[in-house]
Amino acid sequence: MKILYLIVLTTTLLFPTLTKSDTNHFGAGGVFELDLGDSEIPLTPKQQREQKLLEEQLKKKAKESSVSN
């Protein structure tokens, strides 16, 4: 059993890079960007409702500001 511990200790000291892991899969750059080009991601029904509501609110504000001027 002592021989096994001695082999493990010796291997760890002689080859320390085998015991280390590299967790950065994107290189040393640090920033990972995904270019989707001109593709669009479709909105969920909830997002569509929120967008319509926002557009309506903007139209109302535009009408109110044009009436007050």
pLDDT tens, per residue, the chain with 69 residues = 888 888 888 887 777 665 555 565 555 566 667 777 777 888 899 999 999 999 999 999 998 888 776
Query: What is the C-alpha to C-alpha distance for residues 13 and 7, in angstroms, rounded to an integer?
Result: 10
> What integer pLDDT is reported at residue 38 of this predicted model?
75
The whole model's pTM is what?
A: 0.40
Query: What is the C-alpha to C-alpha distance for residues 33 and 27, in angstroms, rounded to an integer?
Result: 12
> What integer pLDDT is reported at residue 30 of this predicted model?
62
Q: Which residue has the tokens 């319509």?
A: 52
> What integer pLDDT is reported at residue 21 of this predicted model?
59
> What integer pLDDT is reported at residue 12 of this predicted model?
78
Q: Which residue has the tokens 């080009």?
A: 37
> What integer pLDDT is reported at residue 18 of this predicted model?
55
Which residues fall within 8 angstroms of residue 43, CB to CB, at 6 or more apart?
A: 51
